[in-house]
Chain A
């Protein structure tokens, strides 16, 4: 009995020690130099692995920053605070971060103007596969079946009156909905841009008036009256350059379709919007 115990302990103990030695030796031979900054950096990141930075996950982003392949403020979710932390670890300046949020470029003005009644699976991905890519007359608008809501990991999207709505405070700007939307209605915009033009229709004005109650018809009025030259109209669709927009609100007042609005429904900011372009 005792010999069995002694043999067992001796054999297993001996094997343990032997293998331990072999592994210790091997770990010296196969040593991989890892940057000691990698771990604190990965911990500083949000850890949602959303892929908004364009890398496979937070760990991949951290190593990309270390290799200099990604900008230090490349994490759209963490924004400025995370960039500052990373900069602290890397020992460099963070640089400026522009906070981005998703914007649904559709007001749902064309939701009751239908080409046919859709009764299939309640999912945008399914609906776009049917003829025309949409049951609505407007072939650019939000289908409102909530595929983007499913893809949002941060609870920032919801369907309100048949149109996807972004909660600007919840939105972290990862861009998952932009990639998910089969109609490409959602895009990333600057959080600080004072106005929004929530339309995606590149159809000529006549079609738009038929299909939607307030879609952009490309009339050019906003661009004409914008003193800061922040609005351009291409393909019958106005778009705003957030760097130039002063938030004067002229376009909001001039838009014949009542499409352009101040972000968050705030009244036009009272400030002299004359960047002294002519002089």
Chain B
């Protein structure tokens, strides 16, 4: 139980994927204009990451068994791409509004390095099955936390005065870096 808690704390705050490890920056900047879509994106990423962690754990066992671990990356990408396709089909059916709002960023979860990152880190850290799933899920929660916080910041920014040259993406990058700086405050926090 303590390990799970430690993993959760680490994945959400201390080693937040977006703000500390700088993984998954593309959707972080792309889908953070509205908090609604940011939440939707976060949930989709949590789902994909949790499932990807579970499936890639099994695939990794298979790779070790067959002694072909060098195939790790390509096998993981295959798993992730399939899961993203599934999520996309599901969203198109169940939540068409969210589907159009996410637009091109939904298929881009496939190449979201955060998802592949969690799968690879799972094997590097030597987590067992449950820990892997927990790590994937909480890394997704961390991603969601970052993107939702940032989306709220950007929503308020719309109403702020801002020098012309900084409008849009530049000021977004500045605020993202400030947000990342805040999360640096968690570094070194450990519960073992």
Question: Which A residues form the contact surface with B (CB < 8 A)?
Answer: 4, 7-8, 11-12, 15-16, 19, 22-23, 26-27, 30-32, 121
Instruction: Give chain A residues whose Cβ lies under 8 Å from the Cβ of B90.
Output: 26, 30
The count of chain B contact residues (Cβ–Cβ below 8 Å) is 21
Q: Are B93 and A19 in contact (CB under 8 A)?
A: no
Question: Which B residues form the contact surface with A (CB < 8 A)?
Answer: 59, 62-63, 66-68, 71, 74-75, 78-79, 82, 85-86, 89-90, 92-94, 96, 164
Instruction: Give chain A residues whose Cβ lies under 8 Å from the Cβ of B74.
Output: 12
Q: Are A31 and B93 in contact (CB under 8 A)?
A: yes
Q: Are A7 and B66 in contact (CB under 8 A)?
A: yes
A-B contact pairs, 13 of them (CB 8 A): A7-B67, A7-B68, A8-B68, A11-B66, A11-B75, A15-B59, A15-B78, A15-B79, A19-B78, A19-B79, A23-B82, A30-B92, A32-B93
Q: Are B93 and A11 in contact (CB under 8 A)?
A: no
Instruction: Give chain B residues whose Cβ lies under 8 Å from the Cβ of A12.
Output: 71, 74-75, 78
Q: Are A32 and B92 in contact (CB under 8 A)?
A: yes
Helix, strand, loop or mixed for chain A's interface? helix
Count of CB-CB pairs between chains A and B under 8 Å: 46
Q: Are B66 and A26 in contact (CB under 8 A)?
A: no
Q: How far is the CA of A11 from the CA of B66 in the complex (A)?
A: 9
**CB-based nearest B residue for A19:** B82
**CB-based nearest B residue for A126:** B164
**CB-based nearest B residue for A27:** B89
**CB-based nearest A residue for B59:** A15
Q: How far is the CA of A27 from the CA of B90 in the complex (A)?
A: 9
12 more A-B contacts (CB under 8 A) besides A19-B79, A26-B89, A30-B93? A7-B67, A11-B62, A11-B71, A12-B74, A15-B79, A16-B78, A22-B82, A23-B86, A26-B90, A30-B90, A31-B93, A32-B93
Partner of B63, one of A11, A19, A121: A11
Q: How far is the CA of A21 from the CA of B155 in the complex (A)?
A: 42
Q: Are A23 and B93 in contact (CB under 8 A)?
A: no
Q: How far is the CA of A16 from the CA of B89 in the complex (A)?
A: 18
5 closest residue pairs by CB, A with B: A30-B89, A19-B82, A30-B93, A7-B66, A8-B68
